Structure 1
Amino acid sequence: MQMNEWIKKHYPEPNLYRWIGVVLEGVSAIVLLFIVLLTCGDVVGRYFFNNSIDGAVEMTQLGLAIMVFAQMPVMTWRGSHVVVDLLDAVLGKRVIKVLGIFSVFIVSTSFYFLALRIFQLAERSIRRGELTEYLELPAGYIAQYIAVMSWLTAACMLTYGAYRVLTNKNDVSQSVGE
């Protein structure tokens, strides 16, 4: 199976969303591999050579932030969040659709304003020259990344999330290519 066929099989979203998903999940996979190798190296260094990797905890924290916020847009447009549907059988399909559109609006608005505040704090951090504790990396840049990914999550929720609600494509197994 060629790479393009594999991507089409496992990423059924429309073209732009497909490639955003491939890139973001690729970033997450690479960062996860880095965290695993870093942790293994740190443990081996600590127990066998009596010397751990300097800054391993801070690099792990930064890696987790990169990985989690790279996955947020993907999870959002696939509808992979935890959903409680106790009242779906009682309420009609029209009410469920209205509530879905309402939740799309609330979630996207929340992510937008959260990202706006995070970006303001990141700019302030960069202006002040704040650095991480051990590795002395500029702390504002990771906060800017978090803000940008939150904006991307808001945009994905407004566009493809709303499309999924309006076209009744909310089955998670359908969206992950199973």
Structure 2
Amino acid sequence: MRPAPLRQALGVTASLIRRVLAPVAALMMFVIMALMVADVAGRYLFNAPIRGAYEIIEFLMCLMILSALPLVSLQGRHVEASLVADLVPRAATLLHWLAGLMAAGLFALLAMLLWNYAAQLDRQNAQSLFGGIPHAPFATFMAVLFGVAAIAALIAMVIRKPGDGPAVE
């Protein structure tokens, strides 16, 4: 595969990740906000809080953060220290590729570990304490999101150039 078609395919994949996960993260944020408002209103106005609201918010918060993680990777919005690259400009390219590979590897490892943990939670039928919410589907979805983050880190490593600032889209 020549470089231009590869970059084009990676760009299409990055665009798909953005189009799917940005609304998912926004929806999670909205549901968290609405659930918090409803729980507080129910608690103080009707003396009837929503059962398991705290646990649901915890699960949704994890999903929201992990839904945004691939977007952060694609846009180069991770916190980074460019001290070495500033001192030795030739090292910027090497550091760019090394950081991309390390991020992708770490995300892939976390995806694998979380996938195995989700299977264990499913076998144990683990549920939340107050809401009785099963843990396994959330852990499985989080493992998938870590896998997508690994792919996004690889795409960003190829598409973005060393020293690029955060992408604005």
TM-score interval w.r.t. the shorter chain? 0.7 to 0.9
Determine whether 1:111 maps to 2:103: no
- Give how far 1:29 is off: 0.9
1:97 aligns with 2:93: yes
Any unmatched runs of 5+ in structure 2? 1-9
TM-score, with structure 1 as normaliser = 0.83
- Which residue does the alignment assign to 2:33? 36
Of 62, 66, 72, which residue of structure 1 is paired with 2:63? 66
Q: Does the CA-based 8 Å contact 2:73-2:152 persist in structure 1?
A: yes
CA distance in 2, matches of 1:78, 1:155: 13
Q: 1:83 is aligned with what amino acid?
A: E
Contact 1:76 1:161 in 2 (8 A): no
Q: Which moved more, 1:65-74 or 1:128-137?
A: 128-137
Q: Percent identity?
A: 24
Aligned length: 160
Look up the equivalent residue of 1:54 and give its one-letter code.
Answer: R
Q: Aligned residue for 1:81? A: 78
Q: Cα distance, 1:148 vs. partner?
A: 0.9
**1:81 aligns to what SS in structure 2?**
coil
Q: What residue is the counterpart of 1:161 in the other structure?
A: 157
The match for 2:165 is: 171
| CA positional deviation for 1:97 | 0.6
Query: Are residue 57 (structure 1) and residue 54 (structure 2) matched?
Result: yes
- Superposition misfits of 4+ residues, deviation over 3 angstroms: none
**Unpaired segments ≥5 residues, structure 1:** 1-12
